[in-house]
């Protein structure tokens, strides 16, 4: 039977509505996205991202795709590592892509950088285009995660590495209880005070809970065709880094 509804946080919505609803969330928060990330994670997101980039193992000749690039944090860490390679920033949301573009220009990152407005489920790149692909805190917002994983695998070069940095499931019940209280009380409150939008941040908290657990996402990567799949828990499983190779 064909799927006609899908999760949007804790709500069920029509499949064809989710992309528009997610776009509305990020249109709303784009201008305050970086401030909110620092407040929500107490700045720890910067450490998570640096650790992810170290695991990505970028070399100076690589072609790298920063998928669901958001405001460009990961690209700012990747760009200094590339000399002859190319860096492509891609996001489905044009407001977020504009924020990322302006941040890179402000930091003097120009030249070997490209921008692409694109849906992760159907990436507009040729097969075997990238040596490295990273998607940071974006996969949980994708309507069909299996299609996105297949699309990522298609555009990854043989021998290439894909890495998913995403909120996940705490590994202890005590941490999980604290995290739930923080997420569902503090995040909407901060969203209201800083971005004048509590509902978008309530959705973001809900989307984290609905995202596949560590083992489930690993299984999805294997089913998509990735090899050597494994994951690393950070901050007690609040965040996980999943990695896969294309052979």
Does 91 show up as a binding residue in the annotation? yes
Q: 206 versus 51: which is more confidently predicted?
A: 51
Kindly report, residue by residue over 153-191, the tens digit of the pLDDT.
999 999 999 999 999 999 999 999 999 988 888 888 877
Query: pLDDT band for position 31 (50/70/90)?
Result: low
Does 102 show up as a binding residue in the annotation? no
**The predicted structure's pLDDT at residue 163:** 98
**The predicted structure's pLDDT at residue 36:** 67
**CA 71/CA 226 separation, integer angstroms:** 28
What is the pTM for the complete model shown?
A: 0.91
Report yes or no on 186 lying in a domain. no
Q: Contact, 127 vs 204, CB < 8 A?
A: no
Query: pLDDT band for position 151 (50/70/90)?
Result: very high
**The predicted structure's pLDDT at residue 27:** 73
Does 71 show up as a binding residue in the annotation? yes
74, with CB counted inside 10 A (0-12, 13-18, 19+), is: buried
Report yes or no on 29 lying in a domain. yes
Report yes or no on 3 lying in a domain. no
User: What are the distances in angstroms from CA 12 to CA 8, 166, 178, 217?
Assistant: 6, 22, 26, 21
User: What are the distances in angstroms from CA 155 to CA 141, 228, 237?
Assistant: 20, 18, 29
Q: At 239, which CATH number?
A: 3.40.50.150
Report yes or no on 45 lying in a domain. yes
Number of domains composing the chain: 1
Report yes or no on 14 lying in a domain. no
Domain hosting residue 160, numbered range: 20-172+200-245
Give, for 109, the enclosing helix (H) or strand (E). none
**The predicted structure's pLDDT at residue 191:** 77
């Amino acid at each position: 039977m064909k799927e006609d509804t899908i999760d949007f946080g804790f709500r069920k919505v029509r499949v064809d509505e989710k992309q528009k609803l997610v776009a509305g969330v990020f249109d709303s928060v784009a201008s305050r996205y970086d401030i909110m990330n620092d407040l929500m994670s107490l700045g720890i997101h910067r450490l998570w991202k640096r650790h992810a980039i170290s695991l990505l193992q970028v070399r100076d000749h690589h072609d790298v795709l920063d998928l669901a690039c958001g405001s460009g944090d990961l690209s700012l860490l990747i760009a200094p590592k590339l000399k002859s390679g190319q860096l492509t920033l891609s996001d489905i949301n044009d407001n977020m892509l504009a924020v990322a573009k302006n941040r890179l220009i402000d930091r003097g990152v120009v030249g070997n950088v490209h921008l692409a407005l694109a849906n992760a489920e159907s990436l507009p790149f040729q097969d075997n285009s990238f040596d490295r692909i990273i998607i940071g805190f974006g996969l949980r917002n994708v309507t069909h995660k299996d299609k996105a994983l297949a699309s990522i695998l298609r555009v990854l070069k043989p021998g290439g590495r894909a890495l998913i940095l995403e909120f996940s499931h705490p590994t202890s019940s005590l941490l999980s209880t604290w995290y739930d209280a923080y997420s569902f009380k503090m995040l909407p409150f901060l969203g209201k005070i800083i971005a004048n939008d509590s509902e978008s941040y309530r959705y973001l908290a809900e989307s984290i809970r609905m995202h596949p657990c560590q083992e489930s996402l690993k299984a999805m990567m294997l089913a998509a065709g990735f090899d050597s799949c494994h994951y690393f828990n950070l901050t007690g499983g609040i965040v996980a880094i999943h990695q896969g190779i294309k052979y």
